[in-house]
Chain A
């Protein structure tokens, strides 16, 4: 959203706007979760579950091809606002840090399916969530840059079995991102 639309505006106007814009009856179970860590509007559109995140950019206009990877988009945003951009930025960055996106995606599909079947997939119950599994697979891809998806799955289990936890799985150096000097940076020593 452009800068002159606040979070309050979004939650006040957007749910009704969505219902009006979409074909009648196609949106079900629309709920606004304002007070969440990342405020969202949840709904089911034609059977597809969607979490719509609000985030504001310090711009007067937002073009259709707006990308969020550049750290400059964080300029002038509060911590809560920049958290809303995290999902997109992390996903894009993981793909940037992987040697071959194709095998990475296939291997990740396999690993995620396995984790879901074993019921060890979800942050909310104390297991790695989507991003954590993706980062682990991405690290294995970095270690075997030319391997195919099946090899990555095999090496994933070998490497993660021997991993010296709680040593973090890092894809790049932890760095102070963005121009905001007060933004919190993750410190693996603290946890």
Chain B
């Protein structure tokens, strides 16, 4: 049996390509530029702009500039001055900022850690429970007293 091409066959035979990267190369074909598919429907027109349209765009930009729509160089400079002080690294303030949440969290954690402990002590004798209470109170008070005040910064 002689076949000139696969089209002669009723059921074409799959012949694997000798090039294992064939499919990959098809995807990254350099000849056709990659285009991002954007939007839920396809574009209405892919036409490239004409010279007249380009001139109109220049005129539009010119008009916007005349209407003070673009930021002036002086204003841009002002904005850069703004970024500098706000981005300046001042570690002292970082601790000040952390102070409040640290204070709350540490006191909260201290109180929370006592609750299950107190519960476990419920069945003990009155004497030892009182001792436990007095110890807890003093330890909480100690934590609160040892914290630096905002004025010390």
A interface vs B, CB < 8 Å? 4-6, 8-9, 12-14, 17-18, 20-23, 45-48, 64, 97-99, 103, 106, 109-110, 113, 139, 142-151, 153, 170-173
Contact = CB atoms under 8 A, between A and B. Distances in A.
Contact of B101 (A6, A99, A142, A172): A6
Contacts of A153: 60
Given A9-B101, A142-B39, A148 B78 contact: no
Contact of B67 (A5, A20, A113): A113
Interface string B80-115: 011001111010010011101100010000000000
A18 B96 CA distance: 13
Contacts of B59: 150
A113 B70 CA distance: 11
Interface string B55-84: 011011100100101000001001101100
Contacts of A6: 101
Interface size class of B (residues with CB under 8 A): 35 or more
Interface stretch (B7-15, B44-52, B137-145): B44-52
A143 B43 contact: yes
Given A99-B38, A144-B44, A146-B48, A106 B57 contact: yes
Contacts, number: 105
Contacts of A9: 97, 100-101
Q: Main SS of chain B's interface residues?
A: helix
A113 B68 CA distance: 10
The 10 A-B pairs of least Cβ separation, nearest first, read A142-B39, A150-B56, A148-B57, A148-B49, A150-B57, A143-B44, A149-B57, A142-B38, A150-B60, A13-B97
Interface of B: 35-36, 38-41, 43-49, 53-54, 56-57, 59-61, 64, 67, 69, 75, 78-79, 81-82, 85-88, 90, 93, 96-98, 100-101, 105
22 contacts: A5-B98, A9-B97, A9-B101, A12-B100, A13-B97, A13-B100, A14-B97, A17-B97, A21-B86, A22-B85, A22-B86, A48-B79, A103-B57, A109-B64, A142-B43, A143-B45, A148-B49, A148-B57, A150-B56, A150-B60, A151-B57, A173-B40
